[in-house]
Amino acid sequence: MVAMAMNLRMKAFYHHRDISQSPSGIQQELVTNIASANDFNKSREAKALLATNWWGDRNASSDHCTWPYISCNEAGSVISIVFDSDDNQDLGDLGSIDFTSFPNLDELYIHNCKLEGSIPEQIGLLSNLTYLSLSQNNLTGTLPASFFNLLVSLVNLLHLDLSQNRIMGPIPSTLGSMINLKFLDLSTNKLNGSIPPELSNLQSLVQMNLGDNNLDGPIPPSFGNLSALKFLNLGMNNISGPIPLDITTLFELEHVDLNHNRLFGPVHPEFGKLSKLFYLDLSSNQLSGNISFQTECTLRHLDLCKNYLSGVINTLSVCDALEYLDLSNNNFVGKIPLLHVTYWSYINLSWNHLTGLVPYNLRDHTDIDLSFNNLTLTEQSTNKDHQQRTMVIVFLDIFLPVVVGCCFLAVANVIYSCKKDTKNKIQLEMTKHGDVCSILNYDGTIAYEDFITATEDFDLKYCIGTGGYGSVYEAKLPSGQTFALKKLHRYEAKQPAFDQSFKNEVQVLTSLRHKSIYMEGFVADFGAARLLDPDSSNQTVIAGTLGYIAPELAFSMIMNEKCDVYSFGVVALETIGGKHPGELLSYLNSSASQGTMLENILDKRLSYPTDRLIEKEILRVCHVALACILTDPKARPTMRDVSQELSR
């Protein structure tokens, strides 16, 4: 639009200029007009940037080329806008920026900045754009065909990354018209429908990632036209049908991931002829048949687990660079070949029908699983095992029925005797002390004495939790019944407000009827007293268990949904870590927590998950929990958002 305005000015200039004007005067006036047009364009860019509120309180009179996240060309026009998560930005609505004000924009990179809203069609008007990445945000809506109709005009666009958002709907077929595109990543969204065969027109494409969506239908056979493709990820969808043979003709392929789909049919032997292929993951499908690899096998990562593959695995011996091998949960038979593995290699051949000796270089391997096969370590152990199995069979046939019968009678007699003694003892205690849970046979004085005796006058060793205004004790009565008692703190017991709050809580808890409700201090007492007091949103004291309540309650004393969200986040982290996160809460809210690994948070008593799907689900819960414990209540998600994210 700026160039069109300049052309019109020049035409008007030549039409109306004085014919007696000198050439130098004409040149000077032309320079003046160009400078005026540049100044107009720069002013328009600055106003569009300020309108977003992404740059704080800067004003239009300052040079926007000196602002952070902005790069300009020599003429002072914006050519690059780059935001990254390292700055912990919360930019809000993507539609707040007027993209028509940036005719020279070459790069737009906004990563993990909590962008919201749908993708504006104006982006399609950026004719100079070569790099577009809006990954790991909260973008919603669909991918409108009109948006890609505009993008088709972006002949310079080489990189398109919209991954890790919440974009829904099908992939428009017009995307296949962007023939110069080299990088395409739409993974980890909510896209559905089938994969458009028009994507096979992207013959310059080097990387395609459509994984972790809800795509269905077959893999287009025309993908064999993507001759430049090196990276292909269609994993974690609902794609069905066989793997097209045409894919095995893409000789530039280095990485293929089709895991967790509904693919069936054979694994083509031609995969073994792809000399540059180092990563192949076809796990968790319904593939069948045998596998075969050629002498030029360069695979470093091979995952075929959880399929219906069968036959021998002898040809794996030609893959001399394997670092990760998982063939578990299949129907492979025969012997394990001599594999070329390193000390750090991961090997899982469990749950097959493999037989014979384990190769010598695998016997002392540290990270290997050969369970649920019929393998032996040495020839001597083979003969010895056969004799032992024969003796075991004889024993089981003759003596086992007799032994089992005698044991059954003995156990039944013990159980009957114990049950009878316990019942008699309980009946005697009921007669003496009364039944606490019965109205007809209840003596409050005796019950109180029993509770005092059971807790040794509320000794701390029976305390199982401490809340904002009381402590919970475990009391086992002589009748065999176990109760949880809440005792108010000495000061709070004398305050009418606490007394009423405690009665409100008792009323709520006694009215609840659910199989999952149990008396646990940090779950049952938090905020329950407010349910029956409509004026208790503004308190003068903290109600709830310390360590689980939101930090802002200590200052504002105002209870809202975001406080419950914080408590949920703490409980979620406690579930993941096996203990209260403690000082980890403040650390995770600091800038030093960037790059914190899951292994630093996960319960140390548990082994780190080897299944990538399980690891991903744990990470999803962890990310939700971290969002819930943010110091700024406004930055925390709503419980509806939490529910939707965890149910994805």
Token match 């109180």: residue?
448
Q: Topology of domain 279-378, per CATH?
A: 3.80.10
The pLDDT, as a whole number, for residue 238 is 96
Which residues are CB-contacts of 344 (< 8 A; sequence separation ≥ 6)?
323, 367
Of 353-357, 414-418, 627-631, the least confident: 414-418
Residue 503 labelled as part of a binding site? no
Query: Residues of 250-284 as b/e, b for ≥16 C-beta within 10 angstroms?
Result: beebbbbbbbbbebeeebbeebbbbeebbbbbbbb
294 versus 14: which is more confidently predicted?
294
**Integer angstrom CA distances of residue 264 from 94, 309, 327:** 41, 10, 16
CA 31 to chain centre: 56
Question: CA–CA separation, 450 vs 433, rounded Å?
Answer: 8
Q: Give the orientation angle of helix 400-433 with respect to helix 379-398, to 10 degrees.
A: 60
Cβ atoms of 233 and 259 closer than 8 Å: no
Question: CA–CA separation, 574 vs 584, rounded Å?
Answer: 11
pLDDT single digits (tens) 444-495: 666 777 888 888 888 888 887 776 667 888 888 777 778 887 777 665 556 6
The pLDDT, as a whole number, for residue 200 is 95
Closest CA relative to residue 483, chosen from 527, 512, 440, 453: 453
pLDDT single digits (tens) 103-159: 999 999 999 988 999 988 888 888 899 999 999 999 999 887 666 776 666 778 899
Q: What is the average pLDDT across 27-55?
A: 68
How is residue 603 annotated by DSSP?
-
How is residue 263 annotated by DSSP?
E
Closest CA relative to residue 129, chosen from 101, 99, 157, 159: 157
The pLDDT, as a whole number, for residue 105 is 94
Question: CA–CA separation, 113 vs 54, rounded Å?
Answer: 11
Closest CA relative to residue 317, chosen from 352, 341, 282: 341
Closest CA relative to residue 135, chosen from 158, 110, 154: 110
606 has a pLDDT exceeding 90: no
Closest CA relative to residue 646, chosen from 575, 589, 594, 596: 575
306 has a pLDDT exceeding 70: yes
171 versus 582: which is more confidently predicted?
171
531 has a pLDDT exceeding 50: no
Question: CA–CA separation, 113 vs 83, rounded Å?
Answer: 7
Cβ atoms of 370 and 354 closer than 8 Å: yes
Q: What is the CATH number of domain 65-263?
A: 3.80.10.10
The pLDDT, as a whole number, for residue 145 is 67
Please, which pLDDT band fits residue 31 given cuts at 50, 70 and 90?
Answer: very low
589 has a pLDDT exceeding 50: yes
Mean pLDDT of all residues belonging to the chain: 79
Token match 């792809």: residue?
274
Which residues are CB-contacts of 501 (< 8 A; sequence separation ≥ 6)?
469, 529, 530, 533, 536, 543
The pLDDT, as a whole number, for residue 146 is 66
The length of the chain is 648
Cβ atoms of 165 and 142 closer than 8 Å: no
Please, which pLDDT band fits residue 620 given cuts at 50, 70 and 90?
Answer: confident
Contacts 24+ apart (CB under 8 A), 516-519: 519/472, 519/484
Question: CA–CA separation, 566 vs 630, rounded Å?
Answer: 8
The pLDDT, as a whole number, for residue 18 is 46
561 versus 428: which is more confidently predicted?
561
pLDDT single digits (tens) 494-509: 666 666 666 666 666 6
Question: Which residue intervals of the chain bear CATH 3.80.10.10?
Answer: 65-263, 279-378
pLDDT single digits (tens) 67-87: 989 999 998 999 999 988 665
15 has a pLDDT exceeding 60: no
For CA atoms 573, 578, 580, 582, give the dihedral sign.
Answer: negative
Strand partners of residue 487: 471
CA 10 to chain centre: 57
How is residue 440 annotated by DSSP?
T
* DSSP annotation string for 366-382: SSEE--SSEEES-HHHH
How is residue 571 annotated by DSSP?
H
Question: Which residue intervals of the chain bear CATH 1.10.510.10?
Answer: 551-647
Please, which pLDDT band fits residue 370 given cuts at 50, 70 and 90?
Answer: very high
375 has a pLDDT exceeding 50: yes
pLDDT single digits (tens) 312-332: 999 998 888 899 999 999 999
The pLDDT, as a whole number, for residue 251 is 93
The pLDDT, as a whole number, for residue 603 is 83
The pLDDT, as a whole number, for residue 160 is 95
176 versus 549: which is more confidently predicted?
176
Closest CA relative to residue 302, chosen from 286, 288, 313: 313
The pLDDT, as a whole number, for residue 10 is 44
Contacts 24+ apart (CB under 8 A), 8-14: 9/33, 9/37
The pLDDT, as a whole number, for residue 411 is 81
Coil, strand or helix: which one is 95?
Answer: helix
384 has a pLDDT exceeding 60: no
The pLDDT, as a whole number, for residue 303 is 96
128 versus 389: which is more confidently predicted?
128
> What amino acid occupies position 460?
L
The pLDDT, as a whole number, for residue 19 is 42
Please, which pLDDT band fits residue 392 given cuts at 50, 70 and 90?
Answer: low
The pLDDT, as a whole number, for residue 5 is 42
pTM of the model: 0.57
Question: CA–CA separation, 164 vs 174, rounded Å?
Answer: 22
Backbone angles phi, psi at 302, to 5 degrees: -135, 115
pLDDT single digits (tens) 412-451: 777 777 665 665 555 555 555 555 555 445 556 667 778 8
Cβ atoms of 524 and 508 closer than 8 Å: no
The pLDDT, as a whole number, for residue 20 is 47
Coil, strand or helix: which one is 417?
Answer: helix
Cβ atoms of 493 and 500 closer than 8 Å: no
Please, which pLDDT band fits residue 614 given cuts at 50, 70 and 90?
Answer: confident
282 has a pLDDT exceeding 80: yes
Please, which pLDDT band fits residue 520 given cuts at 50, 70 and 90?
Answer: very low
How is residue 196 annotated by DSSP?
P
Q: Which CATH number fits domain 551-647: 3.40.50.300, 3.40.50.10320, 3.30.43.10, 1.10.510.10?
A: 1.10.510.10
Q: What is the average pLDDT across 6-23?
A: 45
List the 470-476 sheet strands across, edge first.
463-466, 470-476, 482-488
Please, which pLDDT band fits residue 618 given cuts at 50, 70 and 90?
Answer: confident
> What amino acid occupies position 504?
N
The pLDDT, as a whole number, for residue 522 is 44
Give the CB-side neighbour count of residue 188, counting CA atoms within 13 A: 15
Token match 């993008």: residue?
151
574 versus 255: which is more confidently predicted?
255
The pLDDT, as a whole number, for residue 505 is 64
The pLDDT > 90 percentage for the chain reads 33
